[in-house]
Structure 1
Amino acid sequence: MFPEFEVVPAVDMQDGQVVQLVGGERGTGRTYGDPVEAATRWVDAGAGTLHLVDLDGAFEGERQNAAAIDAVLDAVDVDVQLGGGIRTSEDAIGLLDRGVDRVILGTAAVENPDIVADVSATHPGSVVVSLDAKGGEVVVSGWTEGTGLDPAEAATRYADLGAGAILFTDVDVEGQLEGVRTEPVRRVVEAVDIPVVASGGVATIEDVQALKEAGAAAVVVGSALYEGEFTLAEAQRAADEV
């Protein structure tokens, strides 16, 4: 997984449309159209992986954008990682069997850590545990509930349970286009021997480079790409130069 550093476009979905939230707050999103059009646009631009999130599923606790996700899976031929509303091992395994390459487990992994081991037993390396941090602690249920968990300590626990990677999202800077914070990412990277995918706050190509230098194996980028702050090719090329 991510043998080379990769810039991964985000396709976050709400009510069947691509949406980018600000600071993880519901109702703050800006809409960017049809998910299939967005997904194919990024693949045409050179994406090797797509990051799909069912935002409604994350908030409601069950998948809400299944039709849009199925349409994206049918339309593209690159790796796809999917999160949002996946709460049981049966749901996760069903999605993997459907064609999703990696499932992202956040709330489910916090509430039932054994789900990571259960899914990994049949689909090794396919679980990405999402550790979304707000105010220095892991938050769940669409970033609305604190857990008291330290992200680096939690990452170690899930790596031991068989997680293939950690997705670390800095919610405090998510969607704001004001830059990244590398120290929280570095702490998680140093805690585990599995890939850490960074997300949140990317506004410039220099942010992408900084996250690579902090040890991230990949970076998920949403708003900056949709707003045209830089192109996917420019970001990947700059990262390759680090």
Structure 2
Amino acid sequence: MTKFRPCIDLHNGQVKQIVGGTLSDDGVGLRENFVADESAADFAIRYREDNLTGGHVIQLGPGNREAALAALAAWPGGMQLGGGVTIENAAEWLQAGASQVIVTSWLFDADGTFSWDRLKQLSQEIGRDKLVVDLSCRKTAQGWTVAMNRWQTLTQVDVTKDSLDGLAEYCTEYLIHAADVEGLCGGVDLELVELLGDWGKIPMTYAGGVGQMCDIEAVEKHSSGKVDITVGSALDIFGGSGVKYADLVSWNAR
């Protein structure tokens, strides 16, 4: 059964909702859908009180360390941590309260070549059960291609059943942002959801494009309930009007 997983997206130390495809190193062209008055810790406390497990804190670039630490301290063991994770700091984030760490860019060379050695080393260092691999991707001629560096750089890894099989030996979950529809509230990528659901061997969380409750229902239907979902800009606690947070809490309580 598809579950709602909460998120805390951090940019320059603030909780924000951003159109994913506009992230860049220099900040030019960045589109912000929402900037919260509440702190990251405030959101973590809310999720803890409503027992919304399996969510994630994502650092979108530098300047987010203190906010991320505060969120993890507000709910030790309650949320995953992603953004800037490497083998040098993964254990530190786990000690700070992250349930698992989420990694993408560190697994690739500068040219987008995947390093199996790095994946194996990290999995061995912290344990497979503590590692989530982020396969956030863009639509390409190959289907979907993993993008790194805040979704700016296409890698040489495509999201296929074979690649999902290979990576799953070393991680406990996947997080998959559909970067092309992230933050647009225009509907989810159901073809990608179907691919993930048809594979369905380990837990997966999909993000991108949810605009209303029917999108969540569609993810459950098209993935046969094997893919969980996170909701960003459409959610009322993030300034949206398409999805009510209270409805998602009720959805998980079914």
C-alpha distance in structure 2 between counterparts of 1:240 and 1:42, whole Å: 14
Amino acid at match of 1:193: K
Matched, 1:150 2:158: yes
Structure richer in helix, relative to its length: 1
Structure 1 residues 130-170: Cα deviation after superposition (integer angstroms, max 9, x where no partner):
1111123111111101114211243222113x111111111
Counterpart among 90, 106, 128 of residue 124 in structure 1: 128
> How many residue pairs are counted as aligned between the two chains?
230
Percent identity between the aligned chains? 27
TM, length-normalised to structure 1: 0.85
Tell me if structure 2 keeps the 8 A contact 1:117–1:163: no
Mapping of residues 34-183 of structure 1, within 5 Å: 34-57=39-62, 64-77=63-76, 79-86=78-85, 88-111=86-109, 112-121=115-124, 122-135=126-139, 136-152=144-160, 153-160=162-169, 162-183=170-191
- Describe the SS at the equivalent of 1:89: coil
> Would the alpha carbon gap of residues 191 and 50 (structure 1) be closer, same or farther in structure 2, given more than 3 Å must change?
closer
Q: If the length of structure 2 is used for normalisation, what is the TM-score?
A: 0.81
Counterpart among 229, 239, 245 of residue 219 in structure 1: 229
SS in 1 for 2:15: strand
Consecutive unaligned residues in structure 2, runs of 5 or more: 24-29, 110-114
Aligned residue type for 1:155: L
1-structure distance, mates of 2:13, 2:213: 29
**What residue in structure 2 maps to residue 61 of structure 1?**
none
Matched to 1:233, the amino acid is A
Q: CA RMSD in A?
A: 2.2
For structure 1, list consecutive stretches of 5 or more residues without a partner in the other structure. 58-63
Structure 1 residue 65: deviation in Å? 1.2
Shift of residue 204 of structure 1? 1.0
Shift of 1:95: 1.2
* Comparing 28-37 and 12-21, the one that deviates more: 28-37
User: Counterpart in 1 of 2:9?
Assistant: 12
Which stretches of structure 1, 4 residues or longer, exceed 6 Å deviation after superposition? none
Query: What residue number does 2:112 align with?
Result: none
Per the TM alignment, residue 120 of structure 1 is displaced from its structure 2 partner at its CA by 2.5
Given that 2:76 and 2:99 are in contact with CA atoms closer than 8 Å, whether structure 1 keeps it comes out as no
Give, as a single letter, the amino acid of the residue that structure 2 aligns with 1:107: S
